[in-house]
Amino acid sequence: MILILPAVMVHMDLFGVFISKDLVVRYLGKAAGLKGLLLALLLGTLPTGPLYVAFPLAAALKAKGARTYAIVVFLSAWACIKIPQELVEFQFLGFRFMAVRLALAVAFVLLMGLFIEKLIEWTDKRGLGVPRAGKGAI
Residue 137 counted as domain residue: no
Contact 48, 82 (CB under 8 A): yes
pTM for the full model? 0.81
The verdict on residue 133 lying in a domain is: no
138 residues of the chain, pLDDT tens digit each: 677 777 777 877 777 777 888 888 888 888 888 899 999 999 899 887 788 888 888 988 898 899 999 999 999 999 999 888 899 999 999 999 999 999 999 999 999 999 999 999 988 888 776 666 655 544
Query: Considering the domain boundaries, does residue 134 fall inside one?
Result: no
Provide the domain limits for residue 109. 5-126
Residue 131 lies in a domain: no
Domain count, the chain: 1
Are the C-beta atoms of residues 43 and 74 closer than 8 Å to each other? yes
- Asked whether residue 138 is assigned to any structural domain, the reply reads no
